[in-house]
Structure 1
Amino acid sequence: MPYTVQGVVARGKGEPVSLETVIVPDPGPGEAVVTVQACGVCHTDLHYREGGINDEFPFLLGHEAAGVVEAVGEGVTEVAPGDFVILNWRAVCGDCRACLRGRPWYCFNTHNATQKMTLEDGTPLSPALGIGAFIEKTLVAAGQCTKVDPLAPARVAGLLGCGVMAGIGAAINTGGVTRGDSVAVIGCGGVGDAAILGARLAGASKIIAVDVDDRKLGWAKDFGATHTVNSRTADVVETVRELTGGNGADVVIEAVGRPETYKQAFYARDLAGTVVLVGVPTPDMTLELPLLDVFGRGGALKSSWYGDCLPSRDFPMLIDLYRQGRLDLDRFVSETIGIGDVEDAFAKMHRGEVLRSVVVL
């Protein structure tokens, strides 16, 4: 029998979200229904509400989630009812050219559930990032469920489903930060702070946090930044170079997604250093750089998709580090809220008052 539950829906561009009755079908072949226990409020959900992703309204928002598998469809072997899982939005296919070359974190054919969740009148919903987790139960592809240690609290485990994984992965997987490296992170929201945490975990000797907000720079120090730069009052490139012996950082992670901050990242890195773009730009943005500088400075200019993570590999490992007290995920949770409080959480996020609000169901 289909499930009748409550979920947070964005009906139109810029409109306040509403709590609606949603019909969740029984899982079909390759699908799973998950009882959501907690879901972080991510900027991407706000982008969906504002029409910044696409115009396939109405959207079922929420995607940074953890919960328990309720039921699975035919042919599902990865998970079983009762498993505690983190939801991911890049369920690898195993068959595309990236997967067959042993690089499944670049999978070019990730998949979602085939069936649609709907409103009571039958209107199909577009789930955010193929998940839709501001809801009591959600339907996903079974490959979007990653089984982890059930002793981890859902309020922190779910954060690995998007922003925290993106930041940690940008530092470790994409940027290749290792012991002794100098690292600069531009933009100290949730993703940037996760990149700082990842750089610290990898053994970076110097971690420079850059932002326009002193409160966020304070948060960055809590996550392991050794130096901070307020770009409203200091020249980012000059200051990063001064802090690194005049050379620039070995790895610069741009967690804003704007041309001006990308240029800062490009020129704040050392010769043959690495720039990692993990901030998400809007479709209208363009970048202009002297080609001679791109050639002459060498190194690598990389984009980080979801922290270049492989959920089946990375989620359990990071949860284990959390359980060992080596990865402070609790610090990301600014507040826990109810499912009816998402609109207020968006307002707090816009004002920069929270790192992460987490809906607990």
Structure 2
Amino acid sequence: MNALKLYAKRDLRFEEQPYPKIEKGTDVIIQIKAAGICGSDISRYKKQGPYVPGMVWGHEFSGIVVETGSQVKEVTVGSRISGVPTLTCEDQSINLCRYCRKGEYARCEQLTVVGAYYPGGFAEYIKLPEKNCVLLPDSVDLETAAMLEPAAVVQHGLFHTNLTIGDTVVVVGCGTIGLLAIQLSVIYGARRVIAVDISETSLHRAQANGATVLINGRTENILQRIIELTEGDMGDVVVEAAGSIDSSAQVFAYAKKGGGVVFLGIPYSDIQIERFYFEKIVRNELTIWGSWNSVSAPFPGKEWETIIHLIEKKKLQPERLITHRIKLQEGPKIFEELMKEETSDSFGKILFVP
């Protein structure tokens, strides 16, 4: 079969890969119908390279089941599924860590995702444990289903917070994660959603997805604008979805006294926090939530159930974020396009489709 393999930084190849085989009774083989490029994929392509050179890449995908192991009970050949990419102790045939024993799967000491140490979703087929297959209602199409994972990541983070009806939410960074955070904040009754980014294109997308106020951090003083917009009340909940070293060090100032900041972005460099911003944590008695992955108990968790429910009810519309649908063989070219500052803004969510 064909697949995209990452060998090193900026070395992605479209190559042949052995077809996956059933090895455990709980294994399921899926023909992939849609797979999305994650922001973390772009960072790894540009800055870090693969965990294992030559590994089949990708962790956001959906597809149709074509083969099942002898112990598979609920998933059948022909089932339409969204793939949960998270692999914990159980999946790696090692003793359960203290967090897996408690059902705190996002905190698993050996947590990984497909595409890191195990073949991922940028391929024609993939093997998953049955429990990692989320069955789809008929009303959820496979392209939308490929976006369940990033939506569940955001939902996992928002479950940590105390977001309530009537709140002001500040979302910093308007890529896929930020846009989904905007949609979900609106669904949960936020009175005002302030979107912050340095790209006018991204801010236009934020507005189209429900943001009520836009701030361009390249041309405006973010803190001063939030003070003006909220008459000094600031945000009840701040969502850091940019993953930049600057925003990660400054978002504490955007929250109200007694408010909180949830970190969904992943900075890939050291962060230096000025005293002015750090003191906001202490003097304003902020709550800081770290959020990792998308799963909880019973696996894969309420996050996935909630997202499917919201999509079924036409409240959450992750498919609105899709701007490009391309073939798998175009992967090396598209990742190089994403490296170009002059063209990267033109891309929203990119899906590989058959």
Q: Deviations over 1:162-195 (max 9, x none)?
A: x33323433x313332211110011101111111
Matched, 1:44 2:53: no
Partner letter of residue 166 of structure 1?
V
Q: Is the 8 A contact 1:36 1:66 kept in 2?
A: yes
Inter-partner Cα distance in structure 2 for 1:234 and 1:46: 27
Partner letter of residue 31 of structure 1?
D
- Structure 2 equivalent of residue 222 of structure 1: 208
SS at match of 1:11: strand
Q: How many residues align?
A: 340
Inter-partner Cα distance in structure 1 for 2:295 and 2:260: 15
Q: Is the 8 A contact 2:174 2:206 kept in 1?
A: yes
User: How far did residue 131 of structure 1 move?
Assistant: 5.0
- Structure 2 equivalent of residue 119 of structure 1: none
Q: Is the 8 A contact 2:9 2:49 kept in 1?
A: no
Partner letter of residue 322 of structure 1?
I
Q: Is the 8 A contact 2:155 2:307 kept in 1?
A: no
Q: Is the 8 A contact 1:183 1:199 kept in 2?
A: yes
- Structure 1 equivalent of residue 14 of structure 2: 19
Matches within 5 A, 1:277-296: 277-282=263-268, 284-290=269-275, 292-296=279-283
Q: Is the 8 A contact 2:59 2:113 kept in 1?
A: no
Inter-partner Cα distance in structure 2 for 1:55 and 1:128: 6
Partner letter of residue 286 of structure 2?
G
User: How far did residue 112 of structure 1 move?
Assistant: 6.7
User: How far did residue 305 of structure 1 move?
Assistant: 0.8
Q: Is the 8 A contact 1:24 1:139 kept in 2?
A: no
Q: Is the 8 A contact 2:34 2:352 kept in 1?
A: yes
User: Which of these residues, 248, 255, 276, is aligned with residue 262 of structure 2?
Assistant: 276
Partner letter of residue 346 of structure 1?
F
- Structure 1 equivalent of residue 152 of structure 2: 165
Q: Is the 8 A contact 1:63 1:129 kept in 2?
A: no
Inter-partner Cα distance in structure 2 for 1:246 and 1:11: 50
- Structure 2 equivalent of residue 120 of structure 1: none
Q: Is the 8 A contact 2:167 2:237 kept in 1?
A: yes
- Structure 1 equivalent of residue 335 of structure 2: 346
* Percent identical residues: 24
Q: Name structure 2 gaps, 5 residues minimum.
A: 91-95
- Structure 2 equivalent of residue 174 of structure 1: 160
- Structure 2 equivalent of residue 142 of structure 1: 130
Matches within 5 A, 1:213-252: 213-252=199-238
Partner letter of residue 61 of structure 2?
A
Matches within 5 A, 1:91-110: 91=87, 96-101=97-102, 103-110=104-111
Inter-partner Cα distance in structure 2 for 1:315 and 1:98: 20
Matched, 1:336 2:325: yes
In structure 2, relative to structure 1, the CA distance for the partners of 1:340 and 1:323 (3 Å cut) is same
Regions of 4+ moved over 6 Å? none
SS at match of 2:8: coil
User: Which of these residues, 345, 352, 356, is aligned with residue 349 of structure 2?
Assistant: 356
SS at match of 1:37: strand
In structure 2, relative to structure 1, the CA distance for the partners of 1:186 and 1:292 (3 Å cut) is closer
User: Which of these residues, 2, 6, 19, is aligned with residue 2 of structure 2?
Assistant: 6
Matches within 5 A, 1:67-106: 67-77=63-73, 79-91=75-87, 96-101=97-102, 103-106=104-107
Q: Is the 8 A contact 2:194 2:214 kept in 1?
A: yes
Q: Name structure 1 gaps, 5 residues minimum.
A: 114-126
User: How far did residue 231 of structure 1 move?
Assistant: 0.6
Q: Is the 8 A contact 1:91 1:111 kept in 2?
A: yes
Q: Note the aligned Cα RMSD (angstroms).
A: 2.4
